[in-house]
A and B are shown apart, each in its own frame.
Chain A
């Protein structure tokens, strides 16, 4: 019986996973990123990267490199300077969860429409 209870709890957790992602609150600091990267991760200018659907831990790595100064960019260095680790995790999760504009490329097959 105890196993059954555990199983039910596990099943509930698994089922709640995607719902939790969908209900994730939009981080407050997204408004700053949105000026260039869009709130939904679709860049507002061709020179800025799309972030929609990018891997979360890649975005985290990029923000931490900007914050430490390892990766140099006048705009991003200034923006990342004020971010905490928690901010970075939340922003990366937000953009990774957006409907993706990005994909793993292939040199085979026809270009997608």
Chain B
């Protein structure tokens, strides 16, 4: 019985530990997302060399957006501009930006 309680307490502690799963704040994310808009906030904006459209990220899943930013930050995902942008972001910044973008208003 005691063992079960200890296990449950450990799980709870893990779940609530800051930084393990940073909870995003959309209002804070809105301020931090200003730079993103230079490319992602322009409909049809094009990446150069190679040429393709900068992805639509409004309405995208927050979990995916956070994973993408972390992969850019670690260098695992290629894209020089995105790696440079993500390099200065903390886990909290990433969580905030992801939550904001997932429910951001549209340009139109």
Interface residues of A (CB under 8 A from B): 43, 46-50, 53-55, 57-58, 60-61, 65, 70-72, 100-112
Contacts and interface: CB of A to CB of B under 8 A. Distances in A.
6 contacts: A47-B63, A49-B68, A102-B55, A104-B56, A111-B26, A111-B105
Dominant secondary structure of chain B at its interface with chain A: loop
Interface of B: 26, 30, 33-34, 36-37, 40-44, 47, 50-64, 67-68, 76-78, 101, 103-108
- Decide if the interface of chain A is mainly helix, strand, loop or mixed: loop
Contacts, number: 106
A60 B55 CA distance: 11
Contacts of B76: 72
B56 A55 contact: yes
Contacts of A72: 76-77
A70 B78 contact: yes
10 A-B pairs with least C-beta separation = A105-B58, A105-B104, A55-B53, A102-B56, A46-B63, A103-B106, A103-B58, A57-B52, A109-B105, A61-B52
